Amino acid sequence: MQITLTVNGTQHTLDVPENTLLVEIIREHLGLTGTHVGCDTSQCGACTVHLDGRAVKSCSMLAGQVDGASVTTIEGIGTPEALHPMQAAFRECHALQCGFCTPGMIMRAIDLVAEQPDLDSKAVRAGLEGNLCRCTGYHNIVRAVLHSAGSDQGGAP
Amino acid sequence: MYQFNYHRPATMAEAVALYGEAEDGLYLSGGQTLIPTLKQRLAAPSDLIDLSGIDALKGIKVEDGVVRVGAFTRHAEVARSPEIRKALPVLAALAGHIGDAQVRNMGTLGGSVANSDPAADYPAAVIGLGATLYTQDRDIAADDYFQDLFETALTPGEILTRIDFPIPDRAAYRKFPNPASRYAVVGVLVADFDGTIRVGVTGAGPCAFRATALEEALARSFSPDAVRSVEVPEAGFNSDLHASAEYRANLVRVMAERAVGDILAG
Amino acid sequence: MSSSAATATGIGASVLRKEDLRFITGNGRYTDDLNQPGQSYAVFLRSPHARARIIGIDTREALKVPGVFAVLTGADMAADGLGDLPCGWEVKQKDGSDMVRAPHPPLAINVVNYVGEPYGVVIAATRAAARQGAEAVMTDFEEREPVVDLATARDSAAIHDGVPGNLAYDWELGDRAATEAALASAAHVTRLDLTNNRLIPNAMEPRAALGVYDRSGDEYTLYTTSQNPHLERLVLSAFVQIAPEHKLRVIAPDVGGGFGSKIFVYAEETTVVWAARKVGRPVKWTADRSESFLADAHGRDHVTHAELGLDADGNFVALKVETTANLGAYLSTFGSSVPTYLYGTLLAGQYRTPNIHVEVHGVYTNTCPVDAYRGAGRPEATYVVERIVETAARELGQDPAALRRRNMIRPEQFPYETPVALIYDTGNYEASLDRALELVDYAGFPARRAASEAAGRKRGIGFACYIEACGLAPSQLAIQLGAGVGLYESGEIRVNPTGSVTVFTGSHSHGQGHETTFAQVVSDRFGIPFENVEVVHGDTGRVEFGLGTYGSRSLAVGGSALVKAADKLIVKGRRIAAHMLEADVDAVAFEDGQFVVRDSNQSLAFGEVAFAAYVPTNYPTDLEPGFSEKAFYDPQNFTYPAGTHIAEVEVDADTGVVTLVNFVAVDDFGHVINPMIVDGQVHGGVAQGAGQALLEHGIYDDYGQLVTGSYMDYCMPRADDVPDFVVDTTVTPCTHNPLGVKGCGEAGAIGSPAAIMNAVTDAVGSNDVSMPATPEKIWRALAG
């Protein structure tokens, strides 16, 4: 099937099989490998991207569902030279170790802060329910999100 | 994932026609259960009919003491809806704890209720609030809708279009999440309609049901003590590695008691 | 330490990580991100049965699937002369005989012994075609009764021919007679039965491999998710015999966590590199998470009976431990060593217990092989020691902190030789205990407990004063104890002509931050900017040799190798500087990045000397040009990180839900290079330990089917399952490595399960709760 979607501001028209997942479009057709696949039951959140501005799991979306949509991936929010504030907060708070869950975690965290600006530690922890990290014990991820949200609870990075 | 044909009709009529033409069609709503199922190759439909393009399935309206929610309304929309938060806060709160945030941004009311997973949250609200479910052909009372494990009153090709939730005087929902999947091991919604009590239970049995013994006890005395006095029989309850039937029976009572506590605490 | 210790990037500074910029922007390069022109895809044929004979494999329909290039089986592999996957650690049984190894072909040949065991592979142009091909393979199995239950495995039918009682080994350590005698005369004996639950590692990046064969040079390249690419190459060359080492390059690019599970040499990587030549195309495989659950080596899985004897004053007089350890269906790469040398040797803990005896029965079952998982043996040992010590304190009505303090090895007693074969070089256990008691506000606990009770919840507190042996390991000792390789590490420092530095290490970073920490060490040593140091790892084509990263060894062993290489360069630099400055070499010192002539104002910067080594105009005639050195560092002893972890939990009696409300970890890792990274390692380890104590359990049913085979049923810790952690360190520098460091990667996972379970049993008032302390178990324990 032919679909048209905008990824990180660039419009693409692609011819893909109907059973193609959004994450496959992103990784394999567009070569944007920052979005990761960590499970096959839609729980780990490593594949999280923004679909029309909201965090979704790109492993659980079909090509047809994103026809006409706008998708933002980790590559679309900042660069090493001009980091998104959430990316910077993750670095400053040591909120990543192996880096595999990180893109999905950052994409969800941005969405979380946008939908709930008055976050505290408990709300961040609840808000990250859909993202698994095996390295950090979440401690520094929570700090990074709070820091980025401008909460006092984040403390100094 | 096996191969399938994909359609995104713009109208109900088109959707129903596509279903009729398909060899083995399935409707796709938010896809948060169906797509993982397809990925695991546990289903092999010939055609997927995506309902997301049908405007008639969308929208939230509060009128005549009823909250009308279009079937293709995403969980996050229900959770955030100012109208629902005002008129029926228990429904917004329930929707705000389904799955996780990313799932809530895709999953829909109709998809969840049509699927009737025994551990889904919405069925507790459908039952507990005595909702009316609308399809393209008819309306179905909540008490007639859930029939067994993944079995509902829907006939092949029938599409949930809207669910009307009556607004109670007061209500609360308590959920005991599965630590791994975060689905409901048990979820209990208690609603008080001017002294008539409804208690909808999800997670405990093969499908959502009314806990009539609890309803009667609460009608006599709306208090946690009244809940505590009721024996919740475990017969027919689900039993798995996370919770035995006996433990689920305990959780039904505890969640009901806490829901009543929440209501009384205002 | 050089005097730049106080700088923003030197030793002891929380330098932000170099590697982060690529990870936070999506520019990491993990194995599955890599593709090769013309590559094909592998899907493995996996056993649906826990135990069966393979009667026949019919591949005809599969070969008709469009896009399928080949269906290869274990028999094809054997026909090509490939060898078994070896177990790299020989364990001598108590009667002196060798352990009993079961044959372990990479792809099963006539029998399959666990659900998910690969016995063949379908290779196709696309992943979908390979999957369709795999579904079209018709395999005829003859099912046999599986052996699943650990407790009865020794009385069950033999899984492997020639392994009666399914016993791989009976191993012991310590003086049985003396221990039994001391127990017999003890004033009090505490007895405890424990299980250590099976865990499934779940690094967030699933394993992946991409095998490439280059006909022109007859060379193989394997890109794979490995913690130790050189070891992988060694095994694939020397044992599996795919290709000689100089014809096989193994590259482990960015690796998304390991926790032990990516140490081992598995069937899948072996297969893709072998198959790449057979099908004449690169072959790629990436595990689904479901495959990871089935086929990544699992961890833990012990059943233990322990007895602790105390005299009338509360001094420990003897500890006797008997453990049955589940090894799974085959001996994985280091599977034999984990419940023996990494477990039994740690049973002294932090205490002066004079008599210790441990006996371990290593048992085969029809389950996935069990091997090292974060902590590897040491969490299991800590769990035994710290649970029984806490239990003894309760039985005797003593304060658990006081009973521990009474029995701790005191600072003046180091070096301390334990009855279980280790010599602890240094430590100050009371210092960590004191700091942890202060941070947790131990005195305030009764008030907190009362407050919880007033709110309708039960509260408990639990301790774990753990020890670990890290920095694996003195090679001679390790080889004496059965290791198949030495456990030194290599390092190479190439100073480029312009003074920038490229560091090559045989360690491998898959989250630990070596690119930062090792750069700190080297820049500190040379007094050069941190930014000028680049760390290269994970490629046998670029790094000479290495043993990799596991057992909290990287800094203690790999970092020490770099210090050794750096010191060689400094020696050489002094000679160059002496020549250039016309001074005696003994008068030249290296300070703050300057080669200085003592008692003069003459000096040369590090970069000037490096440049001179490459442009040797004014240069000693008897000295080689160039400025690069390599070193192998072989540790003299293990390092012994130790500390105190204290957990507080609240229990909801109506539901049995346990909430970890407070966790304090005070660890002695020796000197700390980057406190930010070290704290992060502790956080992650504690969360994994909390997972073991409260959430995670790999469960097989009676048929040997893995019941917890996805995140729907295997409960991973999420952000809302753990609290903010309170972590701090105390310092007694390691006495035998140049950095004075001990290792920090596993401590969190070692101390926390015991601390949390001690807290849970304290809250519940019953010792009869096994890990994980799930809500229903607690509810039942409270219901009596």
DSSP state string for B163-228: EEEEPPSEEEEEEEE-TTT-SEEEEEEEEEETTEEEEEEESSSSS-EE-HHHHHHHHH--SHHHHH
Same-domain pairing of C321 and C418: yes
Q: What is the pLDDT of residue C1?
A: 38
In this structure, the answer to whether residues C678 and C562 fall within a common structural domain is: no
Beta-bridge partner residues of C92: C98
Domain end position, chosen among C633, C656, C691? C633
Integer CA distances (angstroms), C305 to B133, C301, C464, in order: 58, 14, 19
Distance from CA of A130 to the nearest CA of B (A): 5
- Res C6 pLDDT > 60: no
Here the CATH number for the domain that contains residue C581 is 3.30.365.10
Look at residue C339 in the predicted model and tell me its pLDDT.
Answer: 98
Q: Looking at chain A, which residue has its C-alpha nearest residue B47?
A: A18
Give residue-wise pLDDT tens across range C669-719.
Answer: 999 999 999 999 999 999 999 999 999 999 999 999 999 999 999 999 999
Q: Given a cut of 70, is residue C136 above it in pLDDT? A: yes
For residue A55, give the chain B residue with the closest CA.
Answer: B102
Are both C325 and C465 inside the same structural domain?
yes
* Nearest-Cα residue of chain C relative to residue B183: C712
What residue spans of C333-396 are helical by DSSP H?
A: 378-396
Mutate to test the interface with A, among C15, C16, C20, C510 (most CBs of A within 10 A): C20
Q: Which helix (H) or strand (E) holds C762?
A: helix C747-764
Q: Count A/C contacts: CB-CB distance under 8 Å.
A: 184
Tell whether pTM > 0.95. Answer: yes
pLDDT, residue C5, reads 43
Chain B environment of C774 (Cβ under 8 Å): 179, 242
Does the predicted interface ipTM exceed a cut of 0.95? yes
pLDDT in tens, C46-99: 999 999 999 999 999 999 999 999 999 999 999 999 999 999 999 999 999 999
Q: Residues of chain A whose pLDDT is less than 70?
A: 151-157
Can you tell me the distance from the alpha carbon of C541 to that of C230, in angstroms, rounded to the nearest whole number? 10
Position C170 in a domain: no
* Cβ atoms of residues A55 and A107 within 8 Å: yes
Question: Which band of pLDDT confidence, cut at 50, 70 and 90, is reported for residue C128?
Answer: very high
| CATH of segment(s) B57-166 | 3.30.465.10
3-state secondary structure of C194: strand
Mean model confidence pLDDT for chain C: 97
Instruction: For residue B103, list chain C residues with Cβ-Cβ distance below 8 A.
Output: none
Residue C763 within any structural domain of the chain: yes
Any domain includes C177: no
Q: Would you put residue C527 in left (φ > 0), alpha (ψ -120 to 50) or beta?
A: left
Q: Which domains does chain A have, with CATH numbers?
A: 2-76 (3.10.20.30), 85-152 (1.10.150.120)
* CA pair distance C179, C267, nearest whole angstrom: 43
pLDDT in tens, C575-584: 999 999 999 9
Place of tokens 């002094």: C574
For residue C356, the SS3 value is strand
Number of domains observed in the structure of chain C: 2
Region C577-606: mean pLDDT is 96
- Cβ <8 Å between A96 and C202: no
> In 3-state terms, what secondary structure has residue C761?
helix
pLDDT of residue A150: 85
Over 50: is that where the pLDDT of C487 sits? yes
Phi/psi-derived region of residue B237, left when phi > 0, alpha when psi is between -120 and 50, beta in every other case: beta
As a whole number of angstroms, the distance between CA C542 and CA C539 comes to 5
Residue C661 has pLDDT above 70, yes or no: yes
A64 → closest Cβ in B1, B6, B39: B6
Q: Are residues C626 and C675 in the same domain?
A: no
DSSP 8-class letter at C388? H
Asked if C596 and C670 sit in the same domain, the reply is: no
Rounded mean pLDDT of C249-254? 98
How far apart, in Å, do the first and last CA atoms of chain A sit?
47
Q: Please give the residue range of the domain that contains residue C587.
A: 3-27+488-633
Looking at the fold, whether C408 and C529 belong to one and the same domain comes out as no
Residue at a domain's end among C633, C651, C667:
C633
Q: Are C624 and C641 part of one and the same domain?
A: no
Residues C651 and C581 in one domain: no
Contact list, A109 vs chain C (CB under 8 Å): none
- Encode pLDDT of B188-199 as tens digits: 999 999 999 999
Average pLDDT, stretch C325-338? 98
Q: Are strands C458-467 and A54-57 parallel, antiparallel or unpaired?
A: unpaired
Using CA atoms, how far apart are residues C141 and C240, in angstroms rounded to an integer? 26
Chain C, nearest residue to B247 by Cα = C776
- Specify the 3-state DSSP secondary structure of B2: coil
In chain B, where the domains are located: 5-53, 57-166, 170-265
Q: What is the pLDDT of residues C370-409, one digit of tens each?
A: 999 999 999 999 999 999 999 999 999 999 999 999 999 9
Partner residue facing C725 (CB), from A94, A133, A137: A137
Which positions ≥6 away from C608 have C-beta within 8 Å? none
CATH 3.30.43.10 fits domain B5-53: yes
Name the CATH superfamily housing domain B170-265. Answer: CO dehydrogenase flavoprotein, C-terminal domain (3.30.390.50)
As a whole number, mean pLDDT of residues B11-26 equals 97
**CA-based nearest distance A60→chain B, Å:** 6
Task: Give alpha helix (H) positions in A2-138.
Answer: 22-24, 85-92, 102-115, 121-127
Which residues make beta-bridge pairs with C739? none
Contact of C62 with C221, CB cutoff 8 Å: no
Coil/strand/helix, residue C533: strand
Residues of B in contact with C780 (CB under 8 A): 247
